[in-house]
Amino acid sequence: MSPRTAPSKNRAVQARRSVLLADGTIAHGARPRMEEEFLLEALRWMMKSRLYDQKVIALQRQGLFGVYSPGIGQEACIIGSAMAVDPVRDWMVPQYRELMATVHHGLPLEVITAQYLGKIGPARIPEGVKVLPTQVSIAAQLPQATGLAWGLRLRRQDSVVITYVGDGGSSEGDFHEGLNLAGVTRAPIVFFLSNNQWAISTSRKVQTATRNFALRAAGYGFEGVEVDGNDVMAVYDVTCEAVERARSGGGPSLIAAETYRMSFHNTTDNPSRYQDQKDYDEARSRDPIERVQKYLAGLGLWDAKREAQWTEEIREENERAMKMATEAPAPRPEDVFANVYEEPPPRVIRQRADLVDGQGG
């Protein structure tokens, strides 16, 4: 197999994909892949994501949790994309707002919660979970995801990589280098760009003059598709197509999911200083969770009683994970010297000894 095959034809970007409209009805002519049972599963995950975020925000306000970036409003992106990849063989390379996608991909909720609480042992990614660590340095994960995908192909593994980035991340140099290298190597990778309209306070309008982030893919010689990022059925569909393309040797894809950050950048941020209330209200009317509930209610599969029951069950699940992470032992100060290198060099040994018993230097 060769990493250097001819690039694909630059196809025109498709019109924005939409399946489930904001009012809970199916778009004219749309044929969703998701069947009802599967949609219920997606709904449950989306509710879990939102309820977890709400709980964490409350805890953070009480000083019981670290700085946190919620995914509220973006649950269709987070869950619809995660459901399209196979946790057994595919890799997930997150940024930091896709917490519940990584949980769907096999990272236990108590593990990632323990990470946020600064724990060490209980925060370790279990063997066999194909999730890379949360990425804080914006877009730095993209060349790595490309290298990971290229390596999977070299090793003839039947796996693809899904990686996440935002509208802000698309301006970074590593976005260009990562996508360009993926195009050149025809790496089996899906770049999932959640355009939530905000990079902290920087609006999407300031981020780029392009009218559509999916257009960026044409410059790298692969497929770009725009999707309603608040429509879990459409997100799932386009991600499945991109994953199939990657797995069958068709190369990378860029998915530009149009969504809205219905919360703050993180718990230190106050969007009322820069966000127009009108935009927020408009986004609320396109809520990704409510539209699924409306649609399922229309089919007789959803009602207030079921919502109350699920909410209670999910809260209990989330509480359990929170409790496990909270009760996990706190790290010892000398553990600060663990994992600097595989074998600690003399200076690490000396500095550790100095910390522990004043014998180093």
Partner 1 sequence: MGEMRMIEAVRAAITEEMERDERVLVMGEDVGRKGGVFGATDGLYARFGESRVLDTPLAESGIVGIAIGAALNGLIPIAEIQFADFIHPAFDQIVSEAARTRYRTNGDYSVPIVIRAPFGGGVHGGLYHSQSIEAFYAHVPGLKVVVPSTPSDAHGLLKAAIRDPDPVLFLEHKKVYRLVTEEVPDGDHLLAIGPAAVRREGTKLSCFAWGLMTHYCLQAAQELESEGVSVEVVDLRTLAPLDRDTILESVRRTGKAMVVHEDNLTGGFGAEVAATIAHHAFDSLDGPVVRVAAPDVPGMPFNTPQEDFFMPSPDKIAEAMRQLAAY
Q: So which residues are the catalytic ones?
A: 261, 265, 274
> Shortest gap between Cβ of 221 and partner 1 (angstroms)?
12
Q: Which is nearer to partner 1, 329 or 345 (CB)?
A: 345
CA atoms of 284 and 271, how far apart (whole Å):
15
Tokens representing residue 230 in the block: 């608040």
CB 252 within 8 A of CB 211: no
Q: Which residues bind partner 1 (CB under 8 A)?
A: 1-4, 91, 120-121, 123-125, 132-133, 137, 140, 142-152, 154-155, 157, 173-174, 176-178, 180-181, 184-185, 338-343, 345-348, 361
> What b/e sequence results for 132-158 when a residue is b if at least 16 CB atoms lie within 10 Å of its CB, and e otherwise?
bebbeebbbbbbbbbbbbbebbeeeee
Q: Which is nearer to partner 1, 4 or 211 (CB)?
A: 4
> Shortest gap between Cβ of 120 and partner 1 (angstroms)?
5
**Residue with structure tokens 């057994």?**
88
Q: Which is nearer to partner 1, 300 or 345 (CB)?
A: 345
Cβ atoms within 10 Å of 269's Cβ, excluding its own? 17
The one-letter code for the residue type at 41 is: E
> Shortest gap between Cβ of 176 and partner 1 (angstroms)?
8
Q: Which is nearer to partner 1, 133 or 250 (CB)?
A: 133
CA atoms of 71 and 261, how far apart (whole Å):
7
Q: How far is CA 174 from CA 14, 155, 169, 185, in A?
A: 25, 25, 8, 16
CA atoms of 111 and 295, how far apart (whole Å):
34
> Shortest gap between Cβ of 207 and partner 1 (angstroms)?
20
